[in-house]
Amino acid sequence: MKIAVVGTGYVGLVTGTCLSESGHHVTCVDVDEKKIATLREGGIPIYEPGLEELVRRNARERRLAFTTSLAAAMRDTEVVFIAVGTPPGETGEADLTHVLTAAEQVGRAIERYTVVVNKSTVPVGSCERVREVVARSARAEFDVVSNPEFLKEGSAVDDFMRPDRVVVGVASERARQVMADLYQPFVRTEQPILFMDPRSAELTKYAANAMLATRISFMNDVAALCERLGCDVDQVRRGMGSDRRIGYPFLFPGVGFGGSCFPKDVRAVMTMARQLGLDFDLLRAVERVNERQKRLLFDKAVKHFGALAGKRCALWGLAFKPKTDDMREAPALTLAQLLAGAGAEVVAHDPVAAEVARPLLGPHVRLAGEPYAAAEGADALFLVTEWNEFRAPDYERLGQIMRGKVLFDGRNVWDAARARAAGFTYFGVGRPAA
């Protein structure tokens, strides 16, 4: 098929590249000339493992192209994906400005029957709004379908190529067949394509993310209870996860969730519910717990040290999760600001996200080029993001270079017994005190 993808952000670039990898001819469109120039030169504007290699290979083999002209991209196109940003508005609901602008441009460019795919995360009912906008200027038949993305940053290529499921909201048999043909190469190992009505597809995306966020906040509350009762949350988690009705994913306590999806989508669901006269009390609690959790390590540090003025605090990890440079609503930002605000000297290291984080952290946070340089002379070391290279620290080396010997493990990945045996005071999340 010949496909156009409007938007070369995280979702659009991964979608277009992976579709070209399966043999389709894809043209990605963006209004950002600098970004398009970077992509044409073989670079990518985001960090995602494996993506840059795929972009270069498919561009070299002429299955993947980049342009700023939507009209050129849509010549003889059979399918066009709208994958532009939907930032939260003042009320918390996703802002459809970019989606509807793209829809208007798509409508003017349609030359033949085209399936317009809403890939952006949008409020329920957005398919109808996009259809109305496209219909104002379309000169050929078209259908609008909902095809929400379920990509995890850090494993997005694998998620697209080997999905758990593909959700498609359709209103016509013709569009259903086009989407079935499009995704057929990705579901050969029996992962299902779930066809449903467009509104249900739109809500599925929000409901899935809200459920995962709920599991995280629930375990963070369990961890807080464990600390007060002298229990070990790791053992509780294993006992819970072994129940097949519950399972293990997203039961890890920590310093809260961030990123582009969970915080925004939780707020969007609450906003949709409120507009319909429904109080989604559960999600209000999820959000409240998450905000509390982002300051957890700071509160532990204040309780341990008292005053933090003059203390040097090292942070390992800045991105909201490993294998990405995404700093959106990252817990490390909250922690760094709290520590600096309390008068502490903050030195941080992240293997990928440093440049993205630099303008967000402000002048009171210094960045180090490698983890032990950040820890040198520190009174305390905070693990915020569980990058693989942070999982097995050299305790002997840390003991030699740190001024104090206090560890705050915000992801429960360090061996508490080993840390304490090496002479460190160790604090985890929901783990019993020594």
Q: What is the pLDDT of residues 295-354, one digit of tens each?
A: 999 999 999 999 999 999 999 999 999 999 999 999 999 999 999 999 999 999 999 999
Residue 7 pLDDT class (50, 70, 90 cuts): very high
Q: What is the pLDDT of residues 102-143, one digit of tens each?
A: 999 999 999 999 999 999 999 999 999 999 999 999 999 999
252 annotated ligand-binding residue: yes
189 annotated ligand-binding residue: no
- pLDDT confidence of residue 88: 84
What would the two tokens of residue 242 be? 């072994």
Alpha-carbon radius of gyration of the chain: 24
Give the helix/strand (H/E) hosting 347: strand 345-349
CA gap 195, 170 in Å, rounded = 7
Residue 181 pLDDT class (50, 70, 90 cuts): very high
321 annotated ligand-binding residue: yes
Among 119, 253, 215, CA closest to 207: 215
Most distant CA pair in the chain, distance: 74
Instruction: Share the mean pLDDT of the chain.
Output: 95
Among 63, 99, 97, CA closest to 82: 99
Residue 189 has pLDDT above 70, yes or no: no
- pLDDT confidence of residue 268: 93
Residue 191 has pLDDT above 80, yes or no: no
Q: What is the pLDDT of residues 40-82, one digit of tens each?
A: 998 999 999 999 999 999 999 999 999 999 999 999 999 999 9
CA gap 189, 175 in Å, rounded = 23
CA gap 40, 58 in Å, rounded = 11
Residue 394 has pLDDT above 90, yes or no: yes
Among 121, 91, 357, 359, CA closest to 260: 121
386 annotated ligand-binding residue: no
Is 261 one of the annotated active-site residues of the chain? yes
Instruction: Give ∠ CA 199-204-208 in degrees, rounded to 5.
Output: 160
Residue 254 has pLDDT above 70, yes or no: yes
Residue 148 has pLDDT above 90, yes or no: yes
95 annotated ligand-binding residue: no
Average of pLDDT values for 158-173?
A: 95
What would the two tokens of residue 82 be? 């709208």
Domains present along the chain, CATH in parentheses: 2-196 (3.40.50.720), 205-292 (1.10.1040.10), 295-427 (3.40.50.720)
121 annotated ligand-binding residue: yes
Strand 193-196 to 406-409 pairing? unpaired
119 annotated ligand-binding residue: no
Query: Active-site residue among 18, 28, 127, 261?
Result: 261
Beta-carbon contacts of 341 under 8 Å, excluding residues fewer than 6 positions away, are none
Instruction: Give ∠ CA 18-74-139 in degrees, rounded to 5.
Output: 135
- pLDDT confidence of residue 87: 86
Residue 188 has pLDDT above 80, yes or no: no
Residue 100 has pLDDT above 70, yes or no: yes
- pLDDT confidence of residue 434: 73
- pLDDT confidence of residue 332: 98
Give the helix/strand (H/E) hosting 209: helix 198-229
